[in-house]
Amino acid sequence: MVETSPRPSAGGPEPAVRLIPLGGLGEIGLNMMLVEWADQVIAIDCGLMFPDDEMPGIDHVIPDFSYALAKRQGFRAVVLTHGHEDHVGALPYLLRQAKVPVYGTPLTLALAAERLREHGLGAEARLMPVRPRDRFEVGPFRIEPIRVTHSIADGIGLAIETPVGTIVHTGDFRLDPHPIDGQTPDYARFTELGEQGVLALCSDSTNVERPGHTPSESEVGPALAPRFAAAPGRVILATFASHIHRIQQVLELAAQVGRKAALLGMSMEKNVRIAAELGYLQIPAGVLLPLEEVAALPARRQVILSTGSQGEPNSALALLAAGEHKHVRIEPGDLVIISARKIPGNERTVGRVINALFRLGAEVLDEDNAFVHVSGHASQEDLKLMLSLTRPRYFIPVHGEYRHLLGHARLAASAGLPPERVLLIEDGEGVELTQTSARVLGGFPTGRVLVDGTGVGDVGSVVLRDRQLLAESGMVVVSLAVDRSGAVVAGPELASRGVVYVKESEDLLAEVRGAVSQALAERDPAAPFDREHVAALVRGAVRRLIHQRFQRKPIVLPIILEVPPTG
């Protein structure tokens, strides 16, 4: 049953809890889900999403917090599952408006604290450290963190006891039987919860299209070892700066083959420092040196851990590929390993970096031609195991595009869960759960809020469309001065950006000036002067001419200056 309003039905006799995704269901990233009981609300995660090619100039995308903020008096806390940006990156924007406590494991909070300090919120944020199996209470909810493994250390799922039953949220997870830190997923606790009764399971859908089990992180190091030993030059390995276990293996390999390691990229330096200080990263003695010292060694003794695995412009790896880094130059014999999965949409950007590295003489390994990476997300058999352990009454796929959510829903049905107990929802919808029933609700305010510099939400679809038009077709500025009768006193003067190269197009510009002058000359001289009408005539004349000549439709910006009569 689908309602069109998030208001509870007047006659509903059973108390109910609601799960309301503000992001992450229908896209990769932007993860945030509300758990609501009466007027009490907590949020699971508060993540951002990075812009795509259709969002020129945008820095980040964050969820629409309006529904949570409308519950301000009952908004109790944010509970974080792990420290990736798509789960913690929007915290500064939320905490400016709602001063709620934030719960998370030590590494997760340390990474979030860095983000908050960058926004000037470090001193006032209430960060509450928790550990797996240590329960805590927030309003009507009793919350228990449960250890899971992921591509970042200290990840947790959550068991949330509500007045109508227990909700299990996996967070991002994989079931790694041999994690680098020895902290295996808490299979026993998930099993106990299943035996006690799980009302609803919300489970990560990102890797639902991959059959089998996700390989263990511990398999990556042995696969990389012969590459490190055989490389005739330096080894440059690019990975996510948050992937502490991958970094741990690289540092250990460097020590084993007699190489020294350096860090390249501000986020890599920051995350390594934080993880080492908190004891999540064990740095072999004498291996990690400043970049300048490592760069002075023979190439065969160097290992460089770099950011930029997604080919981001101005990232460390992109600068190396462009030959623009001041300390390191790619040379023949160097081995570059991109030890990360390409985020959908980044394939072309990564491909350009790889081509540039090959041109400089490096050998390049990535997931397409070598085993250099394992995913942090559960594959089909792992997802089935999570369903089997928890045995939920209701199942809600989370975290993924619609195809992932649908695939996970079908997987649950194939594993024996009755289809009517599989609830497929996206952002803007919610699930209302009682002890005996579940229904899908619609009509919750959600959306993508765009962050551009210090502006939050002030760039909308109209501005984005203008930016796209400017990028696609360019702009022509036409400036002229007219008197009150509408007669041209000066101009028209033209400036073109992204349409034609002005210095080589004087004939065309003269033709455009003539078209503008003719359009204005045909105006009824008896008609009263109307600036908007004159601007429309100018705009139409310029666009018609350029479209006839080039089949282009640039933005035309008329600047009309009215000159008072003299004397």
pLDDT tens-digit series, residues 269-298:
999 999 999 999 999 999 999 999 999 999
Model confidence at 144: pLDDT above 60: yes
Please indicate whether residue 404 is annotated as part of the active site: no
Q: Residue 2: which pLDDT band, with cuts at 50, 70 and 90?
A: very low
Which of 243, 245, 377, 399 does the annotation list as catalytic?
377
Q: How confident is the model at residue 485 (pLDDT cuts 50, 70, 90)?
A: low
Q: What is the mean pLDDT of residues 444-455?
A: 73
- Is it the case that residue 449 has pLDDT exceeding 90? no
Q: Looking at the predicted structure, is the pLDDT value of residue 248 above 50?
A: yes
Residue 445, pLDDT above cutoff 90: no
What band does 448 get if pLDDT is binned at 50, 70 and 90? confident
Question: How open is the CA angle 129-35-200, to the nearest 5 degrees?
Answer: 105
Q: Please identify which residue in the block is written with the tokens 């579940």.
A: 438
pLDDT in tens, 209-224: 999 999 999 999 999 9
Quick one: what percent of the chain has pLDDT higher than 90? 65
The model's confidence at residue 9, banded by pLDDT at 50, 70 and 90, is very low
Domains observed in the chain: 2-161+376-456 (3.60.15.10), 217-365 (3.40.50.10710), 474-562 (3.10.20.580)
- Which of 283, 295, 292, 286 lies closest to 258 in space, CA to CA? 286
* pLDDT for 299 beyond 50: yes
Q: What is the mean pLDDT of residues 437-442?
A: 93
Supply the pLDDT for residue 369.
92
For range 481-501, the mean pLDDT:
69
349 pLDDT band, cuts 50/70/90, is confident
Instruction: Output the CA–CA distances (angstroms, integers) from residue 243 to 49, 83, 158, 316, in the order listed.
Output: 18, 10, 21, 16
Mean pLDDT over the full length of the chain: 87
Give the pLDDT of residue 471. 62
In the set 64, 154, 204, 366, the catalytic residue is 204
Average pLDDT over residues 453-469: 57
pLDDT at 319: 92
Rounded to 5 degrees, φ, ψ at 389 are -70, -45
Residue 314 has pLDDT above 70, yes or no: yes
For residue 104, pLDDT over 80 is answered with: yes
pLDDT given for residue 14 in this prediction: 82
Of 365 and 503, more confident: 365
Specify the pLDDT at position 504: 53
Cα 240 from Cα 306, distance rounded (Å)? 8
Cis link prior to 492 (omega < 30° from 0)? yes
| Local structure of 418: helix, strand or coil | coil
What's residue 458's pLDDT? 52
Q: Given a cut of 50, is residue 1 above it in pLDDT?
A: no
DSSP alpha helices (H): ranges in 34-162?
A: 66-70, 85-88, 91-95, 106-118
- 53-85 pLDDT, tens digit per residue, is 665 556 668 898 999 999 878 999 999 999 999
366-382 pLDDT, tens per residue? 999 999 999 999 999 99
Mean pLDDT of 510-519: 75
Q: CA angle, corner 58, sides to 273 and 450, nearest 5? A: 95
* Mean pLDDT on 143-159: 97
CA separation, residue 106 to residues 93, 404, 566 (Å):
21, 31, 75
Pairwise CA distance, residues 366 & 368, whole Å: 5
Quick one: pLDDT band at residue 501, thresholds 50, 70, 90?
Answer: low
Stated pTM of the model: 0.82
* 377 assigned to active site: yes
What confidence tens digit (pLDDT) does each residue in 400-410 have? Answer: 999 999 999 99
Top mean pLDDT of 102-116, 333-347, 444-458, 502-516 is at 102-116
Q: Give the distance from CA 319 to its chain's centroid.
A: 22
pLDDT band at 346 (very low <50, low <70, confident <90, very high): confident
Please name the residue ranges forming H helices in 391-505. 402-414, 461-473
| Per-residue pLDDT tens digits for 16-57 | 999 999 999 999 889 999 999 998 999 999 999 776 566 555
Taking the C-alpha atoms of residue 250 and residue 371, their distance in angstroms, rounded to an integer, is 15
Q: What is the pLDDT of residue 535?
A: 78
- Per the structure block, which two tokens stand in for 152? 């970042």
DSSP one-letter string for 216-278: PGGGHHHHHHHHHHH-SS-EEEE--TT-HHHHHHHHHHHHHTT-EEEEESHHHHHHHHHHHHT
Say which range, 298-302, 429-433, 558-562, has the weakest mean pLDDT: 558-562
